[in-house]
A = this chain, B = another copy of it.
Amino acid sequence: MHRFPLRVRYADTDRMGFAYYGNYMRWFEIGRAEMMRSLGTSYREIEESGVSLPVVEASCRYRKPARYDDAIVIETAVADLGRASVEFAYRVVREGDGELLATGRTQHCFLAPDGRPGRAPEGLAALLARAPKAGAS
């Protein structure tokens, strides 16, 4: 899986002392953006070409808490690539001991410039086909 390092910030924590559960969605966004960048294009460029990948479904399983200032790694892969949708899989691991903190998925459709869901443009489909793979959910 593609790996991107992050650090848990004070802004991410809640009064339990752990990262707030909603913030993992932000980390997933960062994971998939950086995975696409590593494949040679940025999500900004994709949007500028007129295509967007809105999230249709998202889920996260929280296994161990992420604590303030923890160095973590967001691991991202493509779990499923269809004609009209793509699913990413994520793992949040603690750097150092590699402890698995969370796993997640996001499913996206492809929105054409006219705002309608449709097929992925060829270039984008080819790019996503080169991404690291995870087993389908």
Interface residues of A in 13-36 (CB under 8 A from B): 13-18, 20-26, 29-30, 33
Please determine whether A69 and B42 come into contact, CB atoms closer than 8 angstroms: yes
Please determine whether A26 and B15 come into contact, CB atoms closer than 8 angstroms: no
Q: Chain A, 1-23, contact with B by CB distance < 8 Å: what is the 0/1 string?
A: 00000000111011111101111
How distant is the Cα of A69 from the Cα of B65 in the complex, in angstroms? 22
A76 CB–B CB distance under 8 Å: no
By a CB distance below 8 angstroms, the chain B residues around A11 are 14, 20, 22, 25-26, 29
- Give the total of A residues in contact with B, Cβ under 8 Å: 36
Q: Chain A, 59-81, contact with B by CB distance < 8 Å: what is the 0/1 string?
A: 11110010011000000000000
Q: Which of A50-58, A86-94, A123-131 contacts B (4 or more CB under 8 A)?
A: A50-58
Q: Give which listed residue, B18, B29, B54, B56, contacts A16 with CB less than 8 A.
A: B54
Chain A residues proximal to chain B, CB less than 8 Å: 9-11, 13-18, 20-26, 29-30, 33, 42-44, 52, 54-62, 65, 68-69, 106
